Structure 1
Amino acid sequence: MRYRVRHITEYTYGAPVSLCYNMAHLLPRDTGNQFCLNQKIQINPPPVYKTEGVDYFGNQTFYFSIQEAHKKLVIDVSTDFDITPLNFREQDINNAITCGELRRLLATPNTPELRMAKEYLLDSPQINRSAELKEYAESTFSNESSVLKAALAFTHKIFTEFKFDPNTTTVATPLEQVLKQRSGVCQDFAHLAIGCLRSVGIPARYMSGYLETLPPPGQEKLVGADASHAWFAVFTPEFGWVEFDPTNDIMPSEQHIVTAWGRDYSDVTPLQGVIFEGGGSQQLAVSVDVRRT
């Protein structure tokens, strides 16, 4: 399947900004089943300096600076993809390495992949392991359970026990509060799953990207109605990193488009930077359009 993604980010400032430096994670990466065919990024006002790079996690980065006074910043990114569906067989899920065996391998890692996976057992800027998170997850990830089967069951657990509500959390909401109130958005559910998995000794990482949404039958899809999305991935030696989406209770396949991954949201923030001499109040508008081509 081929897709075209257009992501428009627009900042409007209350006072003119004279200078800004920015780094963007808006250029999706290649993966085992996702291939970027071409991409185009337009910035207004035009930057005096821009360069592409790769961060510690292998994500595509785009650095730019604007050195003229402006009250509006627009970043327009268009990318074409070719995506091959990922289909895990039930026997693969049921017969994957057990949680107990994975923990034993991670205790004395003897391959580069296992040693790198251990990084995703540690606390990160927005995710801290805790006794509360461990208690919520440990019955699902028993030593005898298949890692993938347990992760799939835990994905369903979050989906059924939590309510999607964008009005109950912010980027800074602690996981313990999300767990207590049983509500949040896709970022909260991904962070919660990762925190729980790390708390029971299973490596997990944060996935950032897009999800194609389809309109109800007979209705036309609205331009810009899609959205950025977040989910998580679990490591196993035989399959590598396997993805799960607790917001939708599925294992991502061809409708999930990966932009970047890291320890948590702070590693893959779509746009971050600094502004000088101005800004004041600011308004953010984001439009995402995912189209099959």
Structure 2
Amino acid sequence: MVDSWRLRIQHKTGFTYAGQVASSYNEARMSPRNEPRQAVLETQVQVWPAARTHRYEDYWGTQVTALDIHDPHDQLEVTATSTVETLPPGDLIETGGGADWATLAAPDIVDQWYEVLLPSPHTTLDDELTALAESVRAAHATPHAAAMALCEKVREEVAYTAGATGVQTDAVQAWRQRKGVCQDISHLAVGLLRATGIPARYVSGYLHPNLDAEIGVDVVGQSHAWVEWWVGRWTAFDPTNGVPVGARHVAVGRGREYGDVPPLKGVYSGPANTGQSVEVTITRLR
């Protein structure tokens, strides 16, 4: 019997300003979408102050809620509430399985996944990391085996440390200080994978923190990040926790890096932004 989970996620975030803002234009990427391993039963986004919203799917396939406010306001709060049925990892690729190196190097494959083979601002590597990627590639017969080894290496070397970095930290900075958050660890893994010639993308979403979650108990959850790589098909892995993506994970968006999938971003006309608040509550319903 498949051990599915049903999760309710409430994600509150927003900005406060030093005075009255005349107008603001924002995009929220906080709504999960239906996928093979997750079914969205309900999702809604509420905005305060009240705003006109419309929803669309962006270039990378992430569901976006766009909103604009034209009444004076000194605070913006966006709350996304979703109920999602999730599945365990399922059909995992064996260590020696998946496409071989020659397949990934074929011109049609390189052309198909070109955008997720190139370095991006937060996943660009230095000489040391490039050499590491090349050495891991040389030591493994298949891309999938190399990908798993790279994720293990990152997890061994970079300690998860809450608050150690900010949204502007890149892969090289996280590697040099040997600590970071899930965003940094995923940027680093993505950069290393691409440097070996493996198409890789950054995934944002949520993670229930407890392996044995109690039914009906609200817990402080996390906005989370992990990676996916293509070796004949896409496979997902959480390098921060060293596990395949499973029932505790809810995917929201994919892209080259965090900059393609921020939960909330926008522009406004008015005084300085004095801070951003984030609160995620996750409840296992069954």
Q: TM-score normalized by structure 2?
A: 0.90
- The equivalent of 2:221 in structure 1 is 226
Equivalent residues of 2:38, 2:87 under 8 A apart: yes
| Aligned counterparts, 1:185-224, within 5 A | 185-214=181-210, 223=219
Q: SS at 1:128's partner residue?
A: coil
Paired with 1:8 and 1:275, the residues of 2 have a C-alpha distance of: 19
Deviation track 1:238-258 (CA, whole Å, cap 9, x = no partner) reads xx2111111101111111110
Q: SS at 2:121's partner residue?
A: coil
Q: Mind listing any 5+ residue stretches in structure 2 that lack a counterpart? A: none
| Aligned counterparts, 1:11-90, within 5 A | 11-47=15-51, 49-89=52-92
How far has the Cα of 1:124 moved from its partner? 2.1
Paired with 2:212 and 2:23, the residues of 1 have a C-alpha distance of: 44
Deviation track 1:202-241 (CA, whole Å, cap 9, x = no partner) reads 11100000001128999x9554x1110011111111xx21
Deviation track 1:43-66 (CA, whole Å, cap 9, x = no partner) reads 11001x211001001110110111
Aligned length: 280
Equivalent residues of 1:29, 1:36 under 8 A apart: yes
How far has the Cα of 1:196 moved from its partner? 1.1
How far has the Cα of 1:69 moved from its partner? 1.3
How far has the Cα of 1:14 moved from its partner? 1.9
- The equivalent of 1:290 in structure 2 is 282
Paired with 1:264 and 1:120, the residues of 2 have a C-alpha distance of: 9
How far has the Cα of 1:87 moved from its partner? 2.6
CA RMSD of aligned residues (A): 2.2
Match for 1:242: what amino acid?
Answer: T
- The equivalent of 2:9 in structure 1 is 5
Paired with 2:190 and 2:92, the residues of 1 have a C-alpha distance of: 24
Equivalent residues of 1:140, 1:154 under 8 A apart: yes
How far has the Cα of 1:125 moved from its partner? 3.5
Paired with 1:243 and 1:193, the residues of 2 have a C-alpha distance of: 12
Paired with 2:187 and 2:22, the residues of 1 have a C-alpha distance of: 36
| Aligned counterparts, 1:90-101, within 5 A | 92-98=94-100, 100-101=101-102
Match for 2:266: what amino acid?
Answer: G
Identity between Structure 1 and Structure 2 (%): 32
Equivalent residues of 1:209, 1:230 under 8 A apart: yes
Going from structure 1 to structure 2, the CA distance change for 1:173 and 1:89 (only over 3 Å counts) comes to: closer
Paired with 1:252 and 1:215, the residues of 2 have a C-alpha distance of: 13
How far has the Cα of 1:144 moved from its partner? 4.6
Equivalent residues of 1:151, 1:244 under 8 A apart: no
Going from structure 1 to structure 2, the CA distance change for 1:248 and 1:51 (only over 3 Å counts) comes to: same
Match for 2:47: what amino acid?
Answer: I
Q: SS at 2:191's partner residue?
A: helix
How far has the Cα of 1:89 moved from its partner? 4.7
- The equivalent of 2:134 in structure 1 is 138
Match for 1:284: what amino acid?
Answer: Q
Going from structure 1 to structure 2, the CA distance change for 1:87 and 1:93 (only over 3 Å counts) comes to: farther
Deviation track 1:258-293 (CA, whole Å, cap 9, x = no partner) reads 000000000111111111123x24122211112122
Q: SS at 2:168's partner residue?
A: coil
- The equivalent of 1:152 in structure 2 is 148
Q: Mind listing any 5+ residue stretches in structure 1 that lack a counterpart? A: none
Q: TM-score normalized by structure 1?
A: 0.88
